[in-house]
Structure 1
Amino acid sequence: MPLSRDVVENINLSGGSFLGVSRGGAKTSEIVDSIQARRIDMLFVIGGNGSHAGANAIHEECRKRKLKVSVVAVPKTIDNDILFMDKTFGFDTAVEEAQRAINSAYIEARSAYHGIGLVKLMGRSSGFIAMHASLSSGQIDVCLIPEVSFTLDGEHGVLRHLEHLLNTKGFCVVCVAEGAGQDLLQKSNATDASGNVILSDFGVHMQQKIKKHFKDIGVPADLKYIDPTYMVRACRANASDAILCTVLGQNAVHGAFAGFSGITSGVCNTHYVYLPITEVITTPKHVNPNSRMWHRCLTSTGQPDFH
């Protein structure tokens, strides 16, 4: 696909990917065979942890073959879960769009008798979107993320707290990350094309548990479940992300022309930097349950420790 200035002009005005997206794909050796056959000397890999791992594998294969190819990654993931990065582009836009879903859930819950709004947001192993969207909206009563364990049942469980909220406020709004509560669900060994374990749907599980709980105790509850996953992913980048991805892209090109390879272009400790891909793929970045940001979120929601 030719990427001339005329072709790419104004592609920033819409969401999605101009190049297309995929999971899995060809073997590393076949990719490098194609790079060698086409005499490509610069490869830019845009994506999250999986894409960075793939970029590193390509970089190592090129080194093994002694090819003069610069392999440079650009961190793009709305989950904001790449190690050492202050922020990845797509995250700010995702949080902003997630607030629309939260606001809809809030309006629905507040308008109904014993209304409960339940919003599931993206975040397989990291709850950054759920935490930031909850904190920025100021409308969430319970935020559940993968990094913090909790119980649903029992005297100190989430469901009992929802009872309390309905009795005192008359309504409540709950935000859950998709990877939250996996220890409460039946585990699956199935994987997707990228080798990621396919998670059980905690949002649907939570929906069913809430309905059953209030039915069992004879209390009417009007539950509205909202899953804005693809609305959050597919919208146009906001101004903050547009600037960030422009700078990261430019820096990636500068790095490649300088002869660097096996690096990623990012922001670390407020500075634009190059980082070795091998370092950032060791583990995903997680929300620190002892961090000020998580405790700010807890202060905003007013939720107790669900144990």
Structure 2
Amino acid sequence: MGSEEKTTPKMIRGEAGYVLEDVPHLIDYLPDLPTYPNPLQDNPAYSVVKQYFVDIDDTVAQKIVVHKSSPRGMHFRRAGPRQRVYFESDEVHACIVTCGGLCPGLNTVIREIVCGLYDMYGVHKVLGIEGGYKGFYSSNTTNLTPKSVNDIHKRGGTILGTSRGGHDTLKIVDSIEDRGINQVYIIGGDGTQKGASVIFEEIQKRGLKVAVAGIPKTIDNDIAVIDQSFGFDTAVEEAQRAINAAHVEAESVENGIGVVKLMGRYSGFIAMYATLASRDVDCCLIPELPFRLEGKGELLEFIEKRLKENGHMVIVVAEGAGQVLTAESMRSVDHQDASGNKLLLDVGLWLSQKIKDHFTRNKKMHINLKYIDPTYMIRAIPSNASDNIYCTLLAHSAMHGAMAGYTGFTVGPVNGRHAYIPFHRITGVQNKVVITDRMWARLLSSTNQPSFLSSRDVEDAKKEEEPPTQQLLDGEKEKQHQDNPNKKAAAA
């Protein structure tokens, strides 16, 4: 992969527990760079905006709800255009690359970076890197203009193509240097952002004036810190079509069961939100929820009970749910894909077969089961209206940050305000459904399914909800527990 050297996090500490975790800037290693007036001040579209430049000291709080006696918590630098920029328009030679799996909205982000650089900053040199990270040194590039990207947001997938893993960081940075590229926009998920971080480290090591900006992408919504990832809204909306089809199939026959498998390798957000939106689902199973098949109050008994009550039922299962059970029953071995993600067994097919076997063995009732897997249909569609708007904001935030000289960062909304976030904060941990909070309780209330949780499961889930130590000042956590030994962090 290349250089393994790590940049020390930029921490600014203030009174009452205030901590700003800043992102790198070009002047950290190129201190004599000149600055220029932001071209936006002469842009007629922005002339009517009262305050279109973000104050240099503006920050965004990671947590809104805090205890009166607790530290104020972590802040991030607010995204947006600055009064001074570190690139002249004619000097900018930008490139865009997309990596990892498909997700609704990829083409929208590409379009808005290209159009934003052209229309806001007068940048006319934007390259598209084809085929993911490897494309820097093994594929052709394409010149991107507002005209060439005009309609791409209406299509699914990515016009640049994509790939997973297996790239050479040193060759990538060599290509960036040889081509004279000085702004790199990287769109991808957890593995892609890790790669972007290593690319930034190598660029910094070489002392290049190159801004590296990440746009986080995962349809599963499992990226930490940010409110929501792009494409998630579209995925939940499209998942409704599969759930509705399963419901129609199930209620049209005697003892009909519709099983729908949705995305969610490690986090069950799509399954949870699609279930809440649908109101036709009787049971939702996600990776964060341990469940068992056999026994009193467990899944198979609940299915029998619901069929007797309603004559049909719909089950939504996230792809990463029940992997311990599937591995035990199929004696699987641990494999990974090119991105380093664990290859999962098809829990939908496995669960469907277990349900069929149960009712065949017990001969209590005849069932009609239909299994639906809409995964690739959902991934491949264009983004909906709300995701299109969101992708525009992400693209603009990344572009404003790069022009202002920030680098080694990713962008995203934190409590509704877009911020610049260091790479390590979104690649270190994954965002997961908290099965002890009110949103999951709403789902249980909607489906009337059992929680499937033992008292030990609940305690383990509560421990995972504890805020990480790095969000507090040194020694502040110990002091907090000494002053308030029985007080836990506020619920979100």
Give yes or no for TM over 0.5.
Answer: yes
Q: Looking at CA atoms only, which structure, 1 or 2, has the larger radius of gyration?
A: 2
Query: SS state of the match for residue 8, structure 1?
Result: coil
Aligned equivalent of 2:68:
none
For each residue in 1:193-246, what CA deviation from the matched residue of structure 2 results, as whole angstroms up to 9, or x when unmatched?
111111111111101101101111112110000000011111111000000001
Question: What CA deviation, in whole Å up to 9, does each residue of 1:27-72 have, x standing for no partner?
Answer: 1111111111111111111011111111111111111122211110
Structure 2 residue ranges without an equivalent (≥5) = 1-141, 454-492
Q: Identify the residue that residue 269 of structure 1 maps to in structure 2.
A: 415
Matched with 2:373 is 227
Q: Show the counterpart of 1:72.
A: 213
| CA deviation string 1:283-304 (max 9, x = no partner) | 1110111121111111111101
Distance in 1 of aligned mates of 2:440 and 2:218: 20
Instruction: Note if contact 1:134-1:175 (Cα within 8 Å) is conserved in structure 2.
Output: yes
Residue 197 of structure 1 aligns with which residue?
A: 342
**Shift in Å at residue 18 of structure 1?**
1.2
Given the alignment of the two structures, is residue 140 of structure 1 paired with residue 286 of structure 2, yes or no?
no
The Cα of 1:306 is off from its aligned counterpart by 2.3
Q: Which position in structure 2 is the counterpart of 1:158?
A: 299
Matches within 5 A, 1:31-180: 31-180=172-321
2:390 paired with 1:249: no
The DSSP-based 3-state class of the residue aligned with 1:7 is coil
Q: Secondary structure at the match of 2:316?
A: strand
Q: What amino acid sits opposite 2:437 in the alignment?
A: S
CA RMSD of aligned residues (A): 1.0
Name the structure 2 match of 1:280. 426
Equivalent residue, structure 2, for 1:213: 358
Task: Read off the aligned partner of 1:137 and give its amino acid letter.
Answer: S
Per-residue CA distance 1:81-100 (angstroms, 9 max, x = gap): 11011111100000000010
- What's the TM-score, normalizing by structure 1? 0.98
3-state SS in 1 of match to 2:369? strand
SS in structure 2 at match of 1:224 = strand
For the Cα contact (< 8 Å) 1:188–1:200, is it kept in 2?
A: no
Q: Which residue of 1 aligns with 2:435?
A: 289
Asked if the contact 1:188–1:198 (Cα under 8 Å) also holds between the matched residues in 2, the reply is: no
Deviations along 1:111-153, one digit per CA (max 9) or x if unpaired, are 1110000000000000000000000001110000001111111
**2:439 aligned with 1:306, yes or no?**
no
Deviations 1:230-285 (A, max 9, x none): 11111111000000001100110110011111111101111111111111111111
Q: Write the letter of the residue equivalent to 1:191.
A: Q
Moved beyond 3 Å, runs of 4+: none
2:408 maps to a residue whose letter is G
Paired residue secondary structure (2:313): strand
Query: Is contact 2:444-2:451 (8 Å) kept?
Result: no
User: Are the aligned partners of 1:266 and 1:273 in contact in 2 as well (CA < 8 Å)?
Assistant: yes
Higher-RCO chain (CA-CA 8 Å, sequence separation at least 6): 1
- SS of 2:200 mapped into structure 1: helix
Instruction: Give the structure 1 partner of residue 139 of structure 2.
Output: none
Q: Which moved more, 1:11-20 or 1:184-193?
A: 184-193
Q: Which amino acid aligns with 1:72?
A: A
* Structure 2 Cα separation of the partners of residues 208 and 29 of structure 1: 48
Normalised by the size of structure 2, how large is the TM-score?
0.62
Distance (whole Å) between structure 2 residues aligned to residue 228 and residue 73 of structure 1: 29
Which has the larger displacement, 279-288 or 21-30? 21-30
SS of the counterpart of 1:278? helix
Aligned positions, number: 307
Q: Unpaired segments of 5 or more residues in structure 1?
A: none
In 1, distance between residues paired with 2:239 and 2:288? 20
Q: Distance in 2 between matches of 1:20 and 1:33?
A: 21
Identity fraction in percent: 51
One-letter code aligned to 2:277:
S
* Alignment correspondent of 1:183: 324
* Partner Cα separation in structure 1 for residue 218 and residue 342 of structure 2: 18
Query: Offset at 1:188?
Result: 2.7
